[in-house]
Chains A and B, each alone.
Chain A
């Protein structure tokens, strides 16, 4: 059982480059989300989705785009990378409507923008 799979694990970008962080889950979870983790700031919500075709902004959405065309995949796009986007990114998923459903996290992507 793969759970939540994030690729790549590490990435280095130059300022202005674009890239997509991939997230896939095989648990048929309706809810998927992206967080960024920065030292001294914990994890902050970037974007989230409660089902295919539905996305919404979290606390820190600027500079990031998402789409949800399937239940399984929730990619995060950086259209023009900036040094301020250097961070560790986590994808997380869970069932909707089940209060005891825990949030399952991927193993993170460490992104460095130079």
Chain B
């Protein structure tokens, strides 16, 4: 079974600075997808960024980018120019590319709570 580990329960950063959240995963599969979700205090789950394992290029979405190291099974999220609205719980998640019957079963990490200091 696949596992996802986020070793940083809490992180804090000054507004406008850059912060990196760590995520490692364990799998024997070669094809899969990795995700970062943001959960603000409203409890809503918001997809931040997605990476396909077969793509060598790291995904980028505006101020959010990932460092995907397939051999090391590492998938970190970098947030540049941090803003107060970035404060949230961040979850790393894994999904197999070979979803039985199309079941999009996500495996989540434990989460990292990010605080932005003004």
On whether the beta carbons of B110 and A99 are closer than 8 Å, the reply is no
On whether the beta carbons of A42 and B4 are closer than 8 Å, the reply is yes
Helix, strand, loop or mixed for chain B's interface?
loop
Q: How far is the CA of A109 from the CA of B86 in the complex (A)?
A: 23
Interface residues of B, count at CB 8 A? 24
Interface residues of B (CB under 8 A from A): 4, 6, 9, 33, 42-45, 47, 50, 91, 93, 97, 101-111
Write the nearest CB–CB distance from A27 to chain B, whole angstroms: 14
**Interface residue? A90 (CB, 8 A):** yes
On whether the beta carbons of B91 and A48 are closer than 8 Å, the reply is no
**Interface residue? A77 (CB, 8 A):** no
Q: What residue in chain A is nearest B5 (Cβ atoms)?
A: A42
**Interface residue? A30 (CB, 8 A):** yes
Interface residues of A (CB under 8 A from B): 30-31, 33, 35, 40-45, 48, 50, 54, 56, 58, 88, 90, 92, 94-97, 99, 101-103, 105, 107-108, 110
Q: How far is the CA of A78 from the CA of B4 in the complex (A)?
A: 28
On whether the beta carbons of B91 and A108 are closer than 8 Å, the reply is no
Q: How far is the CA of A98 from the CA of B45 in the complex (A)?
A: 20
Q: How far is the CA of A102 from the CA of B47 in the complex (A)?
A: 8
Q: How far is the CA of A50 from the CA of B47 in the complex (A)?
A: 21
On whether the beta carbons of B103 and A50 are closer than 8 Å, the reply is yes
